[in-house]
């Protein structure tokens, strides 16, 4: 992925409206029954910047930011203020062998919990716990991989608190503006 590790300016993020988009294929048989297939395991987040009223300084900053990303060519960090934190998230249950784990956030449901892989944690935001006791580890803030100094013991629980951004890109190579 062509990615610039820079966050969209906050004054633009506040105008974003987002939605999770899943993809399900379905076919209807001659008898009228439906067969459904989940096309991907994770939702694709889509955001629309709406009704952004910017000062001339903010517009200049956004215009420069957009051009530096070359429109849709380079992805960037984006903060979705509706969902940007994980609190006491279970990252792993130890098996005595592994010491590397992917940050993730679980959206609880009694039938089918949803797991979101966290690949863009915010620098210095990850706090790790082993069995509810704060612990040290190395976090790769480029991919969300946590490395512990030694393997996580059998049935030991690793949890984390963290803030995260998501990787997004502009969907088009131009934007409409009106100068008042």
Residue at a domain's end among 23, 50, 79: 79
pLDDT digits (tens, 9 = 90+) for 141-169: 999 999 999 999 999 999 999 999 999 99
Beta strand spans in the chain (E): 3-7, 16-21, 24-28, 34-38, 44-49, 75-78, 85-93, 100-102, 104-107, 114-117, 127-130, 133-135, 138-140, 145-147, 157-163, 166-168
Residue 150: count of CB within 10 angstroms of its CB:
6
Domain membership of residue 35 (yes or no) is yes
Cβ contact 40:25 at 8 Å: no
Nearest alpha carbon to residue 126 among 157, 152, 102, 95: 102
Residue at a domain's end among 20, 49, 79: 79
Which residue range forms the structural domain that includes residue 50?
A: 3-79
pTM: 0.85
Domain membership of residue 179 (yes or no) is no
pLDDT digits (tens, 9 = 90+) for 100-133: 999 999 999 999 999 999 999 999 999 999 999 9
């Amino acid at each position: 992925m062509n990615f610039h590790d820079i966050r969209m300016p906050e004054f633009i993020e506040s105008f974003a409206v987002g939605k999770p988009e899943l993809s399900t294929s379905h076919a209807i048989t001659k008898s009228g029954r439906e067969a459904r297939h989940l096309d991907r395991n994770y939702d694709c987040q889509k955001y629309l910047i709406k009704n952004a009223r910017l000062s001339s300084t903010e517009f200049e900053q956004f215009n420069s930011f957009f051009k530096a990303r070359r429109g849709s060519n380079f992805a960037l960090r984006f903060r979705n203020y509706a969902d940007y934190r994980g609190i006491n998230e279970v990252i792993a249950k130890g098996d005595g062998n592994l010491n590397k784990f992917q940050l993730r956030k679980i959206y609880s449901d009694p039938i089918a919990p949803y797991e979101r892989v966290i690949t863009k944690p915010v620098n210095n935001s990850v706090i790790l716990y082993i069995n509810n006791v704060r612990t040290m580890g190395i976090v790769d803030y480029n991919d969300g991989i946590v490395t512990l100094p030694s393997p996580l013991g059998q049935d030991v629980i690793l949890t984390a608190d963290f803030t995260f951004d998501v990787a997004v890109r502009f969907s088009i190579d131009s934007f409409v503006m009106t100068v008042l």
